[in-house]
Structure 1
Amino acid sequence: MATEDKQLDVRSEAPARRHALIFENYTALGTGEGFVLVNDHDPKPLYYQFDAEHKGDFTWDYLEQGPETWRVRIGRPAAAGGGKQTGA
């Protein structure tokens, strides 16, 4: 990470609002940018949603895997189609 990624802590958000908020932040990213998602559970279902809707155009890197807090860096790869999806 060349610059400090924004942190998006969704733990205090209503569960029904979390995915929409995360995708709003993802859509706002420029090429090569990312943010760190902070969550209170493993966001694996979110990974599958990203894979279905943005296959090859996102990166997913676990930074912390519980048991109380999960941190995942979600980003847009520098080159389209070069997305590295890890952790699922």
Structure 2
Amino acid sequence: MSDLPIFDNNVFPFDARGVAKRFRHAAIFGALESLQDGETMRFVNDHDPLPLLGQIQQRYGSQVQINYVAREPGNIVIDFAIRLGAEEPAAAPEASAPRAGGCGGGGGGCGCSGH
């Protein structure tokens, strides 16, 4: 868990370091989709998940605001804030295709550094 205190009842911690690598992206998307408007998921990880951030932006557009709280080697903390009143994301052509694996698909591996 992050050493950063959480003072807001609308901020929920998510420590990705404790989730098996093959389940991380599915768990993160599930957590994001369970949040309500105005709530924030405070994401903690050991590496900067740039491919994941791209997937989140593509999938949710401006409905998920991404704000780094900490960005140091081995300590990444990102707030994902839900803003449902924001513009709807554009439908991606692959949105209807089954999602296999992590970043980059098929092989079950993730393209994020540190995997």
Shared topology, TM-score over 0.5? yes
Could you tell me which residue of structure 2 aligns to residue 3 of structure 1? Answer: 8
Aligned residue number for residue 85 of structure 1 = none
Higher RCO (Cα < 8 Å, 6 or more apart): 1
Structure 2 residues not aligned, in runs of 5+: 1-5, 89-115
Q: Measure, in 2, the Cα distance between the counterparts of 1:20 and 1:75.
A: 18
Cα distance, 1:79 vs structure 2:
2.3
Q: 1:62: which partner in 2?
A: 68
TM-score in terms of structure 1 length = 0.82
Query: How many pairs are equivalent?
Result: 82
For the pair shown, which has the larger CA radius of gyration, 1 or 2?
2
In structure 1, distance between residues paired with 2:59 and 2:46: 23
Q: Is the counterpart of residue 81 in structure 1 residue 87 in structure 2?
A: yes
TM-score by length of 2: 0.64
Structure 1 residue 12: deviation in Å? 2.0
Moved over 4 A (4+): none
How far, CA to CA, are the matches of 1:10 and 1:47 in structure 2? 14
Give per-residue Cα distances to partners, 1:19-64, cap 9 Å, x unaligned: 1111111001111111100001001111100111111211100000
Aligned counterparts, 1:14-33, within 5 A = 14-33=20-39
| Paired letter, 1:10 | A
What RMSD, in angstroms, separates the aligned Cα atoms of the two structures? Answer: 2.0
Distance 2:21 2:28 in 1: 11
Q: Between the two proteins, what is the percent identity of the paired residues?
A: 28
- How far apart are 1:78 and its partner, in Å? 5.7
What letter corresponds to residue 46 of structure 1 in structure 2?
Answer: L
